[in-house]
Amino acid sequence: MIFKVTPKPRYVEVSAEGREGFVTFPTYLPGSYVIRELERNLVDIEGVRVSKNKFYVKENFKYRMYAASKDQREAISTQDYLFINPPAVFPFQDKKERYCVKILIDWPISTTLKKEGDYFCADDYETFIDSPIQASPNLKRIVIDDHHEISTIDELDVSQIRPLIREIDNEMGSPERYIFFFRRSDRNYGGIEHLDSSAIVVNWERSELSQLLAHEYFHRWNVRKFRPKDMELNLETEGYSELLWFAEGITDYVAWYVATKTGSVNPDDSGKYVANALSKLTFPGAKKTSLAEASRTTWIKYYRQDENFLNSSVSYYEGGLLVGLLLDIKLRQRGGSIFEIFRNIPERYTFHDIDRYLKSRGIDELEEMIYSPSSIILDFLKEQLTVSLVDEGSQYFGVILEGNRVVYVEDNSPADSAGLMPQDLIVGVNGASRSLEVKEARLIVNREGRLIEMTLRPGRSPGHKVKVTIDGPKFLGIKEIQGTSTINII
């Protein structure tokens, strides 16, 4: 198919050429496990609607998409800026045929699609939707080195990014050309990976970018080059993978490791990052959910997190990070490192490919770590790290507050027994004090505008505040790392 795009403020107008027949707009996009229904942005189309995202069209047809999203997974068009993540804008017919796009505007354009005359092309739809298109009269190319650049309208100091990239390239090899599509916004959206690029949108306040950039960059290998065999590109329905702990968690571990090793993040933040991940394993969700299950249910749990998430699931990012830490320590004890896994598994890998390789290195516990409730990972790590639960046995109610508002009630805690609900606003404690540090608290709670009195008797904390010390010089060839978790449950 061929698309000609005319950007207008808030809209992109597309004139498309394909075959008479059906076109399909994706309902979600790769790298993000939520049905986004971006076809809802379609405002006009020359065609007959067959379903929410399918149309019968002639050989040539036009359509118009609303494009005002600041999110790097979507599209925005303004009087001086255009960003398109292609699956948010372009439909497909046969995914195996060629797709080309021409942007009808006289601005510098940045993309990793192949330039063919006035068109940017890819040999199939999967490749076509894997490269963002960014354009602006103010577009700048900030060179990191011969192979890596940043495409942006903003400023970015590349001195902290260069060592991270070098560290990863030393292990994995350099790509021919890699672009970070970067943009500042009023919200911190994060990043999304592509094979030869990534798109990153962060707010103006965020100064520390090394771990985020390293994470998206390492995805070039873990997810784009190497991908779980069960992660299929369907684009119209959820695809279930049990391996997101590897795809995301190991990527996060590598980002943490290279940022820590190169000194791009300060050691306190590195320690806190690991301590917070460990702390999550002490909550009820981790005591019932395996990382395989957390991966499979990402569509309804991780990507649809509510205030009960710590009771009902676990983050495969954080769990996977810790599995990565353990595997790296064990592989380094055997003279290798986490990176060697990628030299020994097929590009479309299964759990058994990873497990079989680790077993050949004498590491037998992967299956137990991934398929048992993930709290078990803490037990395995205690053999390698110094981990203590500093609040274990101390007075506790089992709530997390934001100001005076309850944002989490731990299952089977005193707060749970008293009947506290998330979103309750505590307006009085024992009549006057705003503190919960008392033997028995009589609470007045504002719940949906009604005042409710309840009595809260403290119990003993199962232990959520984690203090960790990683013997970096011995295990990882980095400085010693210490940290205490910051999740404040009282």
Determine the Cα–Cα distance for residues 392 and 389; give it in Å rounded to an integer. 6
Q: Which residue intervals of 117-204 are DSSP H helices?
A: 125-128, 162-172
Determine the Cα–Cα distance for residues 434 and 437; give it in Å rounded to an integer. 9
Asked whether 85 and 111 are in contact (CB, 8 A), the reply is: no
Stretch that binds Zn ion, among 97-105, 115-123, 229-237, 242-250 (CB under 5 A): 242-250
Closest distance between Zn ion and the C-beta of residue 247, in Å? 7
Closest distance between Zn ion and the C-beta of residue 374, in Å? 18
Nearer to Zn ion, 91 or 249 (CB): 249
Stretch that binds Zn ion, among 112-120, 244-252, 337-345, 404-412 (CB under 5 A): 244-252
Q: Please name the helix (run of DSSP H) or strand (run of DSSP E) that holds residue 200, with its range, or none.
A: strand 197-203
Q: Which residue is nearest to Zn ion (CB)?
A: 248
Name the residue with tokens 């965020």.
Answer: 206
Stretch that binds Zn ion, among 47-55, 107-115, 227-235, 245-253 (CB under 5 A): 245-253
Name the residue with tokens 């400023």.
Answer: 155
Closest distance between Zn ion and the C-beta of residue 129, in Å? 17
Q: Which of residues 247-286 bind Zn ion (CB under 5 A)?
A: 248
Stretch that binds Zn ion, among 241-249, 337-345, 379-387, 463-471 (CB under 5 A): 241-249
Asked whether 444 and 452 are in contact (CB, 8 A), the reply is: yes
Stretch that binds Zn ion, among 53-61, 243-251, 338-346, 480-488 (CB under 5 A): 243-251
Q: What are phi and psi of 130, to 5 degrees?
A: -100, 10
DSSP state of 391: T
Nearer to Zn ion, 248 or 353 (CB): 248
Closest distance between Zn ion and the C-beta of residue 375, in Å? 23
What radius of gyration, in Å, describes the C-alpha atoms of the chain? 25
Quick one: which of 195, 232, 194, 190 has its CA closest to 211?
190
Nearer to Zn ion, 220 or 464 (CB): 220
First to last CA, the chain: 58
Nearer to Zn ion, 250 or 445 (CB): 250
Closest distance between Zn ion and the C-beta of residue 219, in Å? 6
List, in sequence order, every beta strand (DSSP E) within 277-363. Answer: 348-349
Site mask for Zn ion (CB under 5 A), range 405-434, x = bound: ------------------------------
Catalog residues that contact Zn ion under the rule CB under 5 A.
248
